[in-house]
A and B are shown apart, each in its own frame.
Chain A
Amino acid sequence: MTLLKTYKKDFSSKNKPPVVSVVGISKKFPGSIALDGVDFTILEGEVHALLGENGAGKTTLVKILYGIYVPDRGEIYVRGRKAQINSPKEAIRQGIVMVSQVPQLIDKLTVAENLILGLEKYGFITRVGKVRYFIREKSREVGIEVDPDTEVWKLSYTQKQLVELLRALLLNAKVLLLDEAITFLPLIEKKKFYKFIRDFANKSGSVILITHKIYEALEVADRITVLRLGRVVGTVPRSKVSPDVVRKMMFAERSSQVTYERLPMSTPRESAALEISDLWVMGDHGDHAVRGVSLTLRAGEVMGIAGIAGNGQKELIQAIVGLRRVEKGRIRLYSEDITNRSVSKVRIRGVGYIPDQPAKYGLSLENSIEENLAMLPSLTNRLINWGSIRDLARKLIKEFNIMTPSPKTPVKFLSGGNIMKVLVSRELLVARRLLVAYNPTRALDEVTAIMVRKIIKEKASTEGIGVLVASEDLDEILQISDRIAVMNSGRVVRVFSSSEAVRDEIEKLMVM
């Protein structure tokens, strides 16, 4: 730790003036301390990564800078002047703009309508049409193609994030707060965002980048600050650290648990857990997203589906659990035909499901962990035995190290990563015969992600359940899978056994 303290004093960018400083910031939430006396500085023209395990307080810190939360104690200085940022409006005035993991845009409004809302120079009676030209001009300038008159719900996730970036530029942002804004983007788009971030910093902008990917931080950031349990562990310049040092700062002694080695092969049984034959499923935009997919997953086997987002993986998984209509083809679960069965009928047969965007599709945020367990037909009968549900909740909290004041706390009070843990732990419990998952560890820190992968693999091996995992994280696919199917344009283009899988070849098939 002495080494880290030395690093903390070493500012590689000494000549750059600080744009925003926070001094002694503390923030409590019901039952938890999110930040405890945090000091933090961002310099002009730097990309500053904020790292930490789930629940370390990263999001709380940037939400304070953006005026969504008001700190209980501490001060904020913007260009040396003390600032009271008690609303996003005030933050925008100070040149601070945030882009979150979940796009904060209003779906029913057009792009132009969304963007005009923050522009103070336009009064309430201004016609929205007046900013159309301005938006077009600015978007061309930064190479983002977007029609100002499109309603936001028609945009893809990536396009929404691009609109958020465009918004920051229109608002003339000097400090950009990216709260896991890149996490859910497909690989190729991520690279574009890295370039955008670098260009923004080169033009004297400052970026705070929240991520739990150490390599991402090392690729784009100038300095890295690590938070743990609401406190600053240290600030280090990128040039002087290795992934191992950062990992140690994030997880202390638990960092030794991080490994990207392939997990031991499981022993698939004879019987097929899931048989998919010539499956055709419609996408959201009126054309086929899944085009004649055939796969057989054996009991006890983990099959990974590699592919760039938007190539039919999501629709395939939704069709399996009954969330999307199958147009043609059959799905069989242990020889039983479950094609177009309702979700509850599929789930009650021992199918666990981890969806993408857990906060939206996986859990009810208003309810507690206990209630989120009790609402599953596979875990309760018509009458709920709250005693056993409580014991179950406590067991999961302990096993997965879920940071929550109690099993009765509404899930919305938990950090993003801890919400994901609630979902994953519940679904692992439900999956008695089959587990289907889409990006199951995307919002989790490294230690938890690897723990989850190990549990999934072990469950497949020992309990003989079939596991189908679609993920955009190739490290995850390579680590967990016994076989890897590559999906491109709605088709499975090749299936590799884990021993013959080569990263380069898979990547080529993903983008061809």
Chain B
Amino acid sequence: MDAASYILSVAPAFMAYYLTSLGQGFFEKSGVLNLSIDGVFVLGIAVAYAASIYSCSPWVGLAAAVLTAVVFGMLLTYVTTKFPVSHGAAGLSIMFLGYGLAGLVGVAARNTYNEMVVSGIYPQFTLPVTPIAKVLMFAIPVGLGILLYLLEVRTKLGAAVRAVGEDPHAATSLGIDVLRVRLIAAALGYSLIGAGSAGFLTWVATWSEGTGINHGWIAYAVSLAAGRHPLLTVGTAGAFAILATYMYTLQAAYNLSPEIAKMIPFIVAIGAMVTFMSTPLRKKLAPPQSLGRRFFKEERTV
């Protein structure tokens, strides 16, 4: 294999991680702590798998995953912004809901698929393996990342999302509807998470119960390690995708135990965070000040 093929092999993992962490970073900029990510990611994969089988189209699978993720993201946002509910508790509840639903949806679809195979009429999907397809798997997510970055730093919506993440009370006073802005951030962020979960299927190419578990957390770490910056996330997503794609090669080459290998992404995330927090990047990449804080509209404060 030449260098180019090595790089192209990373494309599916990169696409899945980058899109998911991009959505994660943007959504959390609005101040909602997103602990639902792994559950919704796993559910997204199952829904994409099921919808592709029932409709015989991977594009319908993608749309269904995006839609499902958006619904759950907006649910988390609504619950945590409209009511003074703990972000952590709401997020983790939705995560477990995601795991459960993923099993229900995926197993039913797999049974249907098996029956279809027996009857001899079943959808056959070709994985995007051509070099052009793989280049697009890099280019399209990065293009979306650039667009999202411009949206974040150049537009009123970007300013509004950052404002509600920093100080929702001050943002309200400035004339912003916090719930509305957070719902928009959830719709955009979670559509990327949904797309990332559907993209994950192009990497693993199969579904069984539990597919994708922990990869949502890896995307979370990817986003954290880049300080939620859409462009820096290209670097961390790339690094994590290489680690994930060549995990077995690395294990063999350095005689690593699988347990240690699985810990590497999280160790890297902590290391990256500590590194940038000790540099001038600290101010630029600091987490939103109100991330995870309960928001009471009528709280009496000075």
Chain A residues packing against B (C-beta within 8 Å): 29, 59, 66, 68-70, 87-89, 92, 98, 100-102, 104-109, 113-114, 116-120, 122-129, 167, 171, 359, 365, 412-413, 415-416, 419
Contacts and interface: CB of A to CB of B under 8 A. Distances in A.
Nearest to A59: B302
Contacts of A171: 175
A118 B175 contact: yes
Contacts of A116: 156, 159
A106 B177 contact: no
Given A116-B156, A117-B160, A106 B170 contact: yes
A102 B302 contact: yes
When A and B form their complex, which 9 residue pairs have the shortest distance between CB atoms, in order from nearest?
A: A118-B175, A113-B159, A124-B157, A104-B173, A104-B170, A416-B302, A117-B174, A106-B163, A359-B302
Given A106-B162, A109-B159, A122-B156, A89 B175 contact: yes
Contacts of B176: 89, 117-118
Given A106-B171, A108-B162, A69 B156 contact: no
Interface string B90-114: 0000000000000000000000000
Given A101-B302, A359-B302, A416-B302, A87 B159 contact: no
Contacts of B166: 106-109
- Overall SS of chain A's interface: loop
B174 to A, nearest CB: 4
A113 B160 CA distance: 8
B174 A128 contact: no
Contacts of A29: 300
B86 to A, nearest CB: 15
Contact of A89 (B157, B159, B177, B300): B177
Interface in B124-179: 154-160, 162-163, 166-167, 169-177
B5 interface: no
Contacts of B173: 66, 68, 88, 98, 100, 104
A124 B300 contact: no
28 contacts: A59-B302, A68-B172, A68-B298, A88-B173, A89-B175, A89-B176, A92-B175, A104-B169, A105-B174, A106-B167, A106-B174, A107-B166, A108-B166, A109-B159, A113-B163, A117-B163, A118-B175, A122-B156, A124-B155, A126-B156, A127-B156, A128-B159, A129-B154, A171-B175, A365-B301, A412-B299, A412-B302, A419-B302
Nearest to B299: A412
B184 interface: yes
Contacts of B302: 59, 101-102, 359, 365, 412, 415-416, 419
Most interface-central of A101, A123, A125, A167 (chain B CB within 10 A): A125
A92 B172 CA distance: 11
Contacts of A412: 299-302
B94 to A, nearest CB: 26
Contacts of B154: 127-129
Given A102-B302, A108-B166, 17 more contacts: A89-B175, A98-B173, A106-B163, A106-B171, A108-B162, A109-B163, A116-B156, A117-B159, A117-B160, A118-B176, A125-B156, A127-B156, A167-B174, A359-B302, A412-B300, A413-B300, A415-B302
A100 B172 CA distance: 13
Contacts of A102: 302
A56 to B, nearest CB: 14
Nearest to B163: A106
A107 B172 CA distance: 15
Contact of A124 (B156, B163, B172): B156
Contacts of A87: 172, 177
Most interface-central of B154, B156, B160, B289 (chain A CB within 10 A): B156
Contacts of B158: 128
Contacts of A125: 155-157
B147 to A, nearest CB: 12
Nearest to A105: B170
A123 B156 contact: yes
Contacts of B300: 29, 69, 412-413
Contacts of A120: 175
Nearest to B177: A89
Most interface-central of B158, B166, B173 (chain A CB within 10 A): B173
Interface in B242-282: none
B293 to A, nearest CB: 10
